[in-house]
Amino acid sequence: MPEPLGEAFTRIAAEHPDRPAVTDDEAARSEAELPRRRRDTARWTFAELEAHANRWAHELAALGTGPGDMVSIAFPNVAEHYALTIAAWKLGAVPQPVSHRLAPAELAAVLDVVRPPVVAGLAPGTDPDLAPSGTTVLPLGHRPAGPDTPPPPAPPSPAWKAPTSGGSTGRPKVIVAGEPGTLETVVARAPVYDIRPDGTFLCTAPLFHNAPYLFSLLGLMTGNHVVLMGRFDAARAVALAREHAATWIYAVPTMMGRMVRLPDLPDLPALHTLFHIGAPCPPAVKRAVIEWLGPDRVLEGYAATEAQARTTITGREWLAHPGSVGRVTGGEIEARTPDGTRRCEVGEVGELWLRPAPGVTTYRYLGADARRRPGGWESLGDMGSFDAEGYLYLADRATDMIVVGGQNVYPAEIEAAILEHPAVVSAVVVPAPDDDLGSVPHAVIQVDGDVTDADLDAHIAARLSSAKRPRAWRRSAEALRDDAGKVRRSAYR
């Protein structure tokens, strides 16, 4: 019989109660982000996490949560996030992580679609009226008062998670997993990403994004100690990896670029995998990470929250196919011409269409509709091409493409070239209108040190053709991407 996730965690906690389960890094969080938080909750053993999840489960049940309901979790990166997730599973409910950083109108829109019995973790002072009628709002710092024993058994959750998705695509939508909340279903993918039992998992990104939420739960449910950063800092991430002997690190290219810029990077002898996903990785950053850790400890993936299909590539493969995100290792992916009439030739950039394996239901949307074509294919708007050996190379999202005098130009390629300049920390390329060419690229950059526009022009001229060269450079004192490497280009247009 498949084991429900809530019961599975109870069993895991009983098997090694004193092993550390979650450490949320107190040093990386501000008092404003965690008001009135007690330091003694910064690390929980499996037994402590189980007890706290049980208290939450009893309270959620008393507030009307039952099988199939969603529980919206608006906590920052703290141990309670996992306690709420496990509590939802124990009731047969669906954990629904949502960003605590959303503007009130955005959060209200998500909750209106989800209609949860409970939303927990909102900052004190948040207007409770932003939640729909019938939803109880529990603020950050709320302590559940239920007993620490498991609630009565419940059927597996009909979906094991329901994260939101927004980032570069605009208004968040809710993506409900098509897989039920059973241990066998969920941890079956752990070997694909080299998540091994009983290690130490360093989670560097916000849990309201699907990837860090997904992979850290895979770690937790395979007995790993999850070390959770509240806010990414490159030096702190490396220090935590050394302090806790991390065996697996989640990262995105923005984080990787910041880490390899640090002086005197340590070897991290316990580490067997640094896994990255979430955005195209500039080749210069990827090479620097491989030089630091070695090709056999670097793994990359391409997938979406919708999980129709995926690719993976090792560091060693990448050296033979630089710039690739790998070969398809789950489902199917093909590139088609913009009009959809034919499959693209080798090396030809087209729109990527994804299809799950036969008989597999991967997700359903709340608040959005999928873009589909006959045969079960779906598009997320990404562009890319395949080489003769089946390795995929991402170009960009179709909506981000810039047409310069009839030539298709992809911002990701320009950004990767800009990031090869040692003074550039982050870059975002957007279109600007042009009377002659229709549109041209402009660049917004965050720099560390002095660099002139002329220096940048010369740097890009040595790497890209004229149509791809930014016509203007704007500088930002703030980070251009969030901790998950996401950017809303519309904000810079």
Give pLDDT, residue 11: 98
pLDDT-above-90 percentage for the chain: 66
Domain boundaries, the chain: 5-251, 273-398, 401-491
Give pLDDT, residue 222: 97
401-491 shares the fold of 5-251: no
Give pLDDT, residue 172: 63
The pLDDT confidence band at residue 171, using thresholds 50, 70 and 90, is: low
Cα dihedral sign for 172, 76, 415, 379?
Answer: negative
Give pLDDT, residue 289: 97
The 10s digit of each residue's pLDDT in 469-484 is 999 999 988 888 766 6
Q: Which CATH architecture has domain 5-251?
A: 3-Layer(aba) Sandwich (3.40)
Mean pLDDT of the chain: 90
CATH topology of domain 401-491: GMP Synthetase; Chain A, domain 3 (3.30.300)
The 10s digit of each residue's pLDDT in 17-73 is 999 999 998 644 444 444 444 444 489 999 999 999 999 999 999 999 999 999 999
Give pLDDT, residue 162: 97
Per-residue pLDDT at 287 exceeds 90:
yes
The pLDDT confidence band at residue 169, using thresholds 50, 70 and 90, is: very low
Who wins on pLDDT, 451 or 10? 10
The 10s digit of each residue's pLDDT in 69-85 is 999 999 999 999 999 99
Q: Mean pLDDT across the stretch 171-189?
A: 90
What's the CATH code, domain 273-398?
A: 2.30.38.10
The 10s digit of each residue's pLDDT in 238-280 is 999 999 999 999 998 889 988 999 998 999 999 999 999 977 7
Who wins on pLDDT, 484 or 198? 198
Give pLDDT, residue 116: 97
